[in-house]
Structure formats: structure tokens, C-alpha cells
A and B are shown apart, each in its own frame.
Chain A
Amino acid sequence: MSEVESRLKNLMLLSLGGDGMAYRELLLKLSGRLRAYYRKRLGKGCSDAEDLVQETLIAIHARRATFDRTQLFTPWAYAMARYKLVDYLRRSRVRASVSMDDCEEFFAMDETEQAAASRDVDSLLSRLPNAMGEAIRLTRIEGRSIDEAAQRTGRSAAATKVNIHRGLLRLARLRAAGALDADD
């Protein structure tokens, strides 16, 4: 550690004096360490790690005058890296609440809910006699008119109405008896 410190500090002192070669070497060395640090903290797959490396290098460049030549170099550089990480994490937490990733996840969840709901309807209607269940499905769930449903089932409109009415009554009775919650 102390060897790294003295080597990097030496480069930093040369850089502050205007030595471009030393500065380039210093930034290259720092970028390697920053990359490892951010990848470890953000996870290997995170594409923002390299952006953060560059952002930190720019901050180090713009604020290099804040390095006190009488102090150690590594705590200074680490404080820069840490500040940028904390700042990034704070920013990304805010951004996460409105990101497109969440949006997709939201719709994925909606889809499974809908699937579950239609499964529930299926199991409910299967408890009714066929004629009633079909009449309710065609009119109340698929939204067809009484006449259309009557045509499809080959029954009269009046019979369809009666089937719907009786089916709904029966469902209500089943629900009152608690039979619908028995298995779900």
C-alpha cells in the first residue's frame, strides 16, 4: 500500500507541476483501479461502471487543485471515487422509480394478473350447468348481445335471458354458501 501511495503521489506531484506524461500514466493507473472498484460495487453486468470511471477522471482533472501536496494521495483519490459512487447511487435510485425497466415489469405483472383472473372466471363458470355458463360467458364476459348469444347457442332469446338470470342467481347462492372460496 505504501509503495502504491508513494508511486502515485510522485506521479501526482509531477502532474501538478505540468508533466503531461506523468499525468497520463497516473490517469491510466487510476482508471484501472476505478474500473475494478465500480464493477465490484455495481455488479459486473452494469454498463454504467465505465461512465462512472470517466466521470470520476473528469472530476479528478477539474478538481486536482484540491489535492494538498503535504497530504497522502490515495485517500484523496479514494474520496473522489467514493463521492462519485454515492452520487451515482443516489441519482440512480431516483431514476429507477421512473425507468422503462419498471414500466415493462409493470405490464408483465398486469398480464399474469389478467391470466389469473380469467382462470378464476373459467373455474367459476364450470360449476354451472353448460347452458347457463355459456350464456353468461357470451353476454357478460365477451360482451355480446342477447340475440347474438341466442344465435350462437341455438336457443331462443328468452331462454338465454332465463339462463343468464338463473346462472347469476346460482353463482350468488354459491358465493353466499362460501363454496367459491373453498378452492382457488
Chain B
Amino acid sequence: MQTTDLIDRLASDLRPTSQRAAWKRLTIALSAGSVVALGAAWLSLGLGNDFAAMLLTSSLWMKWAYALGVSAAALSLCVRLARPEGAPGALHFLLGVPLLMLGAIALIEVAGVPADERRALWLGRTAAMCPWTIAALAIPIFVAVLLALRKLAPTRRRLTGFSAGCLAGAAAAGLYAIHCHETAAAFVVTWYTAGILLPGLVGVLIGSRVLRW
């Protein structure tokens, strides 16, 4: 086909474009994936039967604040990287802010506990399954976000894959918190972070293949 014919065809196909389309697509994907993940959590882990009581605990809000902080940073990174010329810039460091804050709280907490109880505090009772459950819950969110990104124009695909994985992991961590009875900041900063980084690393590995356009 002649290039001028192609241009005529594209021009006749033109429809007005909404503003902030990347942001809209990604938040829709995030919400849709989260609903699926919430359903999966409900089926596999059961409804947190003491949910009302948990809402009054500070540990649930700590987990939610952490998950929300990482999600917000990862989402803004994804929105930025969805543009072809988008460079992460200082947004990189935004991902580390919630981690550093919770890490500081965890250090203070650990310092106030006798040395022989620290290990128990750090491992809790569910350290072995916590990261894996978060990563598993992240799968539907991860898939939805990656599908949305494929319609956009990421050019740094590994980094975009990492951001998408962290976003999915952080959202999944927020859902998992409803089913988690651990209370220590040291536990959350270690095992929740592992659950968030797991899909992030998968994103680095598959990003260049999955996000091609």
C-alpha cells in the first residue's frame, strides 16, 4: 500500500482521544485484576471472619499504608513508562520511600524486644507462606496490568515489567492483609516486600517479550 493511502485511511479512522488515557487504562486494569484477586482470596483463604475487629488493629492499617504507598509509586511509574519517551527519573526512588519508612519502624520495634525474641517476631507464624500467597494473588492483577500496558507504548520494557509486577504485588499485599494476623512491622517489611518483589522480578524477566508492540 502507498503511504499516502495509508495516511488517508488512518485520518478517516480518527476519533477524539480522551485525556489521561494511560492512567485510565491502568487504573481500570488494576481494579479489574484486584476484584478477581479478592474473589480468589475469598475462595481460598475464606472471608476474614473477624474483619470488623481487625479494622481496629493498627497492624492492618500499617499493612494497608505500606501497600498503598508502594502501589501509588508503582502506578505512577507505570503511567510514566507507558509513554514512549517516558523516563523514570526520580520516580524510582518513590518506590523506596514506603520501604524505608516501614524499615525504620521495624528497626525501632526490634530494638525494643529482647534479643532472643527477635527471631520469632521477624518470622511470625506465617513467614513461609506469606510471600507466595501474595505473589499468587498478584497474578490476575499482573496479567490485567500487562495487557493494559501492551495497548500503550512502553519502550523500556524490562523496567516497565518490573513496575507492573510491583504494582500487582502491592495491590495483592493490600488484599492479603485482610487475611493476615501477623502484627510485627519487621514481619511486614520483610515478607510483604518479598511478595511484592517476586512479581516484580518476573516482570523484569518477561517484560521485553511480553510488552513488545
Whether a CB of chain A sits under 8 angstroms from the CB of B155 is yes
Binds A, one of B7-15, B49-57, B61-69, B160-168: B7-15
Whether A58 lies near B10 (C-beta < 8 A) is yes
Whether a CB of chain B sits under 8 angstroms from the CB of A143 is no
Task: List the B residue with the shortest CB-CB distance to A68.
Answer: B83
Whether a CB of chain B sits under 8 angstroms from the CB of A17 is yes
Instruction: Please indicate the chain A residues that have their CB under 8 angstroms from the CB of B6 in the complex.
Output: 54, 57-58
Whether B152 lies near A61 (C-beta < 8 A) is no
Whether a CB of chain A sits under 8 angstroms from the CB of B212 is yes
* Chain B residue total in the interface (Cβ 8 A): 28
Main secondary structure of the interface of B (DSSP, over half): loop
Whether A76 lies near B11 (C-beta < 8 A) is no
Binds B, one of A79-87, A117-125, A145-153: A79-87
Whether A54 lies near B16 (C-beta < 8 A) is no
Bound Cα distance from A16 to B17, whole angstroms: 5
The interface bits of chain A over 36-57 (1 if a CB of B lies within 8 angstroms of the residue's CB, else 0) are 0000000000000010011001
Main secondary structure of the interface of A (DSSP, over half): helix
Expressed in whole angstroms, the minimum distance between the Cβ of B146 and any Cβ of chain A is: 16
Which residues from chain A sit less than 8 Å from chain B, CB to CB?
A: 15-21, 23-24, 27-28, 31, 35, 50, 53-54, 57-59, 61, 63-69, 71, 75-76, 78-80, 82-83, 87
Which residues from chain B sit less than 8 Å from chain A, CB to CB?
A: 1, 3-4, 6-8, 10-19, 21-22, 82-85, 151-153, 155, 212-213
Q: Which 9 A-B pairs have the closest CB atoms?
A: A65-B21, A79-B84, A18-B16, A79-B85, A24-B11, A63-B153, A27-B7, A75-B85, A66-B153
